[in-house]
Amino acid sequence: MERSDRNKLLLLCLFTFVIRLYVITQTPLISTDSFAFIQNAKHFSHGEFTEGLKHPFHPLYSMLTALFKPAFNNFETSGEFVSLIFGTLTIFPLFFLTKRIFSRRVAFAAAFILAIHPFHIRLSADVMSDVTYYFLYVTAIWTLWIAIEKNKWFHYILTGALAGLAYLTRPEGIELIVIAIIVIFLMKIRELPKDGLRRIGRTCLILASFLFVSFWYIFLIHEQTGIWQFTMKISGKAVTEMDETSTPEETMREENNPAVKDWSDDRVRLEEYRNKPDYIGFIAYSLNEFLKASYYPIFLLVLLGIFWRKEQKYPRIADLYLLAFIALHFFILERLLITRLYMSVRHLTTIVILTLPWAGIGIISMEGFLLRKFWNKTDTDIIRSADSTHMNISKPILLLLLALTILTIPKAVKPKRFDELALKSSGKWLKEWHKANDNSPDFQVIGSEKIAYYAGADAWYPLQGSDYRTTLNYIRSLKVKYLAFYLKKTERINSELVKNAPLDANTPNPDLIFLNQWTEYLDKNNVDTLCLFKVKY
């Protein structure tokens, strides 16, 4: 790579880093699943490896969070740092993959689009495993392409090892091995009779390196569950962390959980699809969620890149290569949507990243149109520019990338979770109150994992039950000390609890002691009150 091209890529890396760092400063508290990752990181940091590995969430991200904790003296900041670094670095494997399968200029456009992609930016600011997984996932796809091109045993081994690391980050990393084997046998299929044994050998190299990295964890899962499966999930049916059945953290989206934003309309619609069954409805829902994850201006570029390639003929084998990974991942998500009635933008972002090379082609195609229309360039000039081995950034490309940045950055950098600050404030208040009035080393909170984290609790549980007595029996069965809930949210699903709970310190109650309350302005027309109680025993 020439120095000018390298400097452009490094400048893009700096831009990617800075924008994600800014979003971290605008994210005042952890996300939904962060409590689980941080608790896991605490196990690893304290040398409790067995406890950490028993957790249903795969361990690599939490291990990395624990590794960097001494540098920050804070698990939350350490987890954000890991996400920031891997979120920034993902532009490199995407660039080099796109450069190999399409062109250098398409690669730069694709990497730039990832740098400003709203959902990737926001996920890079969270204590979550997603962007670490994206980095390993895309890097494995890049090294597999090199392995097939060069037929070097080292690249096959590296691909298997990266797939193993991706699997240790999230269980769906196992799909990399499935697609790798399919691709090895189907690429240049006419030559299969001649080199079938070699392809078997390459497959063995990938499998061996994958198992070398990950078999210890698969064996641990077998020890814990008694069956051979790829995830610690009790159900054993899912291959991603969207299976909401195993732990309290994962039951956050249960219908009776007031700590979750209202998504019941979607659930009702999906249940109707499942009862009919209406698979077309499921597919339409999935495609709509995919459009949201892609972000509409970027998705238009993807369509242009697929269907409008006037400037240069790109190899269709490259399209099929990307499509193989996209199709399998989408199939897995669709299956989980049908069985679990849930699909998340962050899980779809995995395949959104693989569509960005096509968005890069869309940028180059738009450049050609603008050069003809406004710069009076000939087809020969445009094709010569498209074929360039340099990452020359023409005025049309500069204008297109600037326009795309203006469209996407406001959404990407918009402050998030400021409407949940009461959860952080109440957690910190509870931490001081518990220290002054109880000070027992271990305690639990029901109602919010975010309160539990900032209070220093060792566990949290979702609020369950549709009436007062059932809820109290559930709480006492878990020996939980503190209960938190929003009045309006909880009244919709458990009006008895709101009616019977003491809402001030002067109201006597045989079950609960009122501790404090906070007003939460969800928006200018929506105000709710967060109440905190101590449970009597």
> What digits encode the pLDDT tens for the residues 157-178?
999 999 999 999 999 999 999 9
pLDDT of 250 strictly over 50: no
Domain ranges of the chain: 418-535
Is-contact 100 142, C-beta < 8 A? yes
Q: What's residue 532's pLDDT?
A: 97
- Tell the burial category of 536 from Cβ atoms under 10 Å away from its Cβ (0-12, 13-18, 19+): exposed
Q: What's residue 516's pLDDT?
A: 96
Give ∠ CA 236-237-241 in degrees, rounded to 5: 85
Per-residue pLDDT band for 258 (boundaries 50, 70, 90) equals very low
Q: What's residue 394's pLDDT?
A: 83
Q: What's residue 501's pLDDT?
A: 93
- When computed from its CA atoms, the radius of gyration of the chain, rounded to whole angstroms, is 25
Q: What is the pLDDT of residues 10-34, one digit of tens each?
A: 999 999 999 999 999 999 999 988 9
Is-contact 357 314, C-beta < 8 A? no
Q: Say which range, 41-45, 120-124, 271-275, 529-533, has the weakest mean pLDDT.
A: 271-275
Pairing, β 526-535 against β 482-486: antiparallel
Residue given tokens 């400097």 in the structure block = 7
Segment 96-111 shows an average pLDDT of: 95
Cα–chain center distance at 304: 26
Segment 123-135 shows an average pLDDT of: 96
Is-contact 173 125, C-beta < 8 A? no
Segment 212-241 shows an average pLDDT of: 76
Highest average pLDDT, of 11-15, 191-195, 288-292, 416-420, comes from: 11-15
Cα 483 to Cα 517: distance, rounded to the nearest angstrom: 12
Buried b (16+ CB within 10 A) or exposed e, 309-326: bebbebeeebbebbbbbb
Considering only residues 414 and 237, tell me which one the structure prediction assigns the higher pLDDT: 414
Cβ atoms within 10 A of the Cβ of 477, count? Answer: 8
Is-contact 397 404, C-beta < 8 A? no
Q: What is the pLDDT of residues 495-531, one digit of tens each?
A: 999 999 999 988 999 999 999 999 987 666 788 999 9
SS3 assignment, position 527: strand
pLDDT of 279 strictly over 90: no
Cα 251 to Cα 342: distance, rounded to the nearest angstrom: 12
Q: What's residue 385's pLDDT?
A: 60
What share of the chain has pLDDT > 90, as a percent?
A: 63
Segment 54-61 shows an average pLDDT of: 93
Q: What's residue 202's pLDDT?
A: 93
Local structure of residue 174 (DSSP, 8 states): G
SS3 assignment, position 30: coil
Local structure of residue 533 (DSSP, 8 states): E
Per-residue pLDDT band for 311 (boundaries 50, 70, 90) equals low
Considering only residues 175 and 193, tell me which one the structure prediction assigns the higher pLDDT: 175
pLDDT of 260 strictly over 80: no
Closest CA to 529 of 478, 499, 489, 471: 489
Q: What's residue 277's pLDDT?
A: 84
Matching CATH number, 418-535, of 1.10.10, 1.10.287, 1.20.58, 3.40.190: 3.40.190
Q: What is the pLDDT of residues 425-458, one digit of tens each?
A: 999 999 999 999 987 888 999 999 999 999 999 9
pLDDT of 241 strictly over 60: no
Q: What's residue 380's pLDDT?
A: 64
Does pTM surpass 0.85? Answer: yes
Cβ atoms within 10 A of the Cβ of 87, count? Answer: 31
- Tell the burial category of 345 from Cβ atoms under 10 Å away from its Cβ (0-12, 13-18, 19+): middle
- Tell the burial category of 283 from Cβ atoms under 10 Å away from its Cβ (0-12, 13-18, 19+): middle
Closest CA to 445 of 234, 243, 259: 259
Q: What is the pLDDT of residues 353-397, one digit of tens each?
A: 999 999 999 999 898 888 888 877 766 666 666 555 666 778 889
Give ∠ CA 112-333-116 in degrees, rounded to 5: 15
Q: Say which range, 119-128, 226-235, 513-522, has the weakest mean pLDDT.
A: 226-235
What share of the chain has pLDDT > 70, as a percent?
A: 90
Whether the bond between 462 and the residue before it is cis, its omega within 30 degrees of 0, is no
Element (H, E) at 360: helix 345-374
Q: What's residue 276's pLDDT?
A: 85
Cβ atoms within 10 A of the Cβ of 51, count? Answer: 14
Element (H, E) at 513: strand 512-523
SS3 assignment, position 60: helix
pLDDT of 257 strictly over 60: no
DSSP letter string, 422-460:
HHHHHHHHHHHHHHHHT--S--EEES-HHHHHHHT-SEE
Considering only residues 299 and 249, tell me which one the structure prediction assigns the higher pLDDT: 299
Q: What's residue 478's pLDDT?
A: 92
Structure tokens at 143: 């090294």
Cα 59 to Cα 246: distance, rounded to the nearest angstrom: 16
Cβ atoms within 10 A of the Cβ of 262, count? Answer: 10
Is-contact 529 519, C-beta < 8 A? yes
Cα 338 to Cα 318: distance, rounded to the nearest angstrom: 31
pLDDT of 423 strictly over 90: yes
Closest CA to 422 of 310, 534, 293, 527: 527
Cα 121 to Cα 131: distance, rounded to the nearest angstrom: 9
pLDDT of 66 strictly over 90: yes
Residues 6 or more apart whose CB falls under 8 angstroms from that of 126 comprise 27, 30, 31, 34, 80, 83
Cα 163 to Cα 151: distance, rounded to the nearest angstrom: 18
Segment 204-215 shows an average pLDDT of: 97
Considering only residues 63 and 439, tell me which one the structure prediction assigns the higher pLDDT: 63
Per-residue pLDDT band for 242 (boundaries 50, 70, 90) equals very low
What is each CA distance from 222 to 56, 166, 219, 462, in whole angstroms?
A: 13, 19, 5, 28
Per-residue pLDDT band for 247 (boundaries 50, 70, 90) equals very low
Considering only residues 268 and 536, tell me which one the structure prediction assigns the higher pLDDT: 536
Q: What's residue 231's pLDDT?
A: 86
